[in-house]
Amino acid sequence: MNVFADVPVKVSVAGPWKSIYSIRQPLLEANIDLGAAFSDVVGNGSNICFWLDCWFESVPFFIRFPDLFKEEVVKECLVEDRLQLNSAGPHFNWVWIRPDLGPVAAVQLQQLQLLTGCWVGSGKKDCWKWNYDNNGIFTVAGIKGILSSANRTVPNNVFLWSNWVPKKVGLVAWRAEMERLPTRRALANRNIPVPNQMYVLCSDYVESCEHVFVSCHYAQMLWQNLAMWCGLPPIIAFGINDLLTLQDSASGSRRKRKVVHAIILVTFWSIWKMRNETVFKQGVPNVTRTLDEIKSMAYLWVKSRSKVVDLTWKNWSRFNLDALH
């Protein structure tokens, strides 16, 4: 048996307390000790155990006075069962297994009565207090904030999502940045049989996320055409992160940069879609068709999600975004 926060836990038996016990070490690393996280606030003593709960000290009485606890008939008795307040002060109601206590138990009884003789109850309802909050109230958000700030490593690059395109669109770029798309090289690294690791669109290099979206001449033609359409400087990208930050080089308002970012995410999605159609449907890659798809799909998503009804296709095709101001 292992004792965790005065609750007996047998780690060989499955159950909720075993799950709580298993996270003890991560919590301790975040300076959260569940044994001291909660404290009893005794009011009338009707909901707190006299022997088992830490209601008077940080250590429960069954550990502080073990010989006396052995003589107790009702081990789970409440505070109100053993200690009551009247006009003369505290009154003890003991129920022992035998009428005559042993010498050690008798000494512990005297110590216990001296210790609790100064207790004054509030008469209110008993409650539990969460010691890591000033208000004493436990919330999931509160402990989440503590855990998230403990030993947290801030990544160098934080992916920027956009609510102007569907989640599935941003997901492609997010996975590509982490090299988590199922490219042929990635499948081979997972010991999945791949007859040929070369990129199907060019057959010149191994298919990786960086080659699919950055190095391949199909992708480069798309990016350069989009740069001219959006009024961006010529794109020189050495990695996926360089593409995901192209909106920083766009001039204009914050909403215009958000449009450029949405177009970037749609481009990632369209390139991966073109790759899949070539692999699984034996499609023929076409840069012009893919470029038109990027412009049309980005227009539909940006117009509907930004709620700019005045954005027309004619202005969009010229990248005239005056309606967004």
Out of 149, 183, 206, a domain closes at: 149
C-alpha 53/C-alpha 292 separation (Å) is 70
Last residue of some domain: 149, 176, 205?
149
Residue 298 token pair? 């980005």
Q: Please answer whether residues 80 and 50 qualify as being in contact, where contact means their C-beta atoms are separated by less than 8 angstroms.
A: no
SS3 at position 253: coil
- Tell whether 104 and 185 lie within a shared domain: no
Query: Per the domain annotation, does 154 fall within a domain?
Result: no
Do both 103 and 188 map to the same domain?
A: no
- Kindly indicate the confidence band of residue 219, based on its pLDDT and cuts at 50, 70 and 90: very high
Look at residue 7 in the predicted model and tell me its pLDDT: 53
State how many domains the chain has. Answer: 2
Quick one: DSSP state of residue 154?
P
Q: Report yes or no on 137 lying in a domain.
A: yes
How high is the mean pLDDT of the chain? 87
Reply yes or no on whether the pLDDT at 8 is more than 60. no
For the chain, what percent of residues have pLDDT higher than 90?
A: 56
36: in domain: yes
* Residue 316 resides in a domain: yes
Residues 109 and 192 reside in one and the same domain: no
Residue 252 sits in which domain range? 167-324
Residues constituting the chain: 325
- Asked whether residue 247 is domain-assigned, the answer is yes
- Whether residues 115 and 59 share a domain: the answer is yes
Does residue 157 fall inside a structural domain?
Answer: no
Q: Please check whether residues 142 and 211 belong to one and the same domain.
A: no
pLDDT at 189: 94
What's the alpha-carbon Rg for the chain, to the nearest Å? 34
How much is the pLDDT for 154? 62
3-state helix, strand, coil in the chain (%, to 5): 50, 10, 45
Q: What is the mean pLDDT of residues 118-145?
A: 83
**Residues 6 or more apart whose Cβ sits within 8 Å of residue 213:** 176, 219, 240, 243, 268, 271
Residues 215 and 142 in one domain: no
Q: 80-94, 164-178, 232-246: which has the minimum mean pLDDT? A: 80-94
User: What would the pLDDT profile of 10-64 be if each residue is shown by its tens digit?
Assistant: 667 777 767 777 777 777 777 777 767 777 788 888 888 999 888 888 788 999 9
Pair (70, 196) in one structural domain: no
Q: Which of 99, 119, 149 is the last residue of a domain?
A: 149
196-223: average pLDDT:
94
Structural domain contains residue 185: yes
Angstrom distance (rounded) from CA 102 to CA 59: 23
- Which tokens belong to 35? 């044994």
**Is 74 contained in some domain?**
yes
Same domain for 64 and 140: yes
So what's the pLDDT on residue 3? 40
Say yes or no: 78 and 46 in one domain. yes
- Kindly state whether residues 180 and 90 are assigned to the same domain: no
Same domain for 224 and 93: no
Residues 221 and 320 both lie in one domain: yes
pLDDT (tens digit per residue) in 300-317: 999 999 888 889 999 999
**Nearest alpha carbon to residue 262 among 280, 273, 246, 282:** 246
Give the model's pLDDT for residue 38: 77
Nearest Cα neighbor of 59 from 76, 75, 39, 31 is: 39
Cα angle at 74 between 72 and 77, to 5 degrees?
110
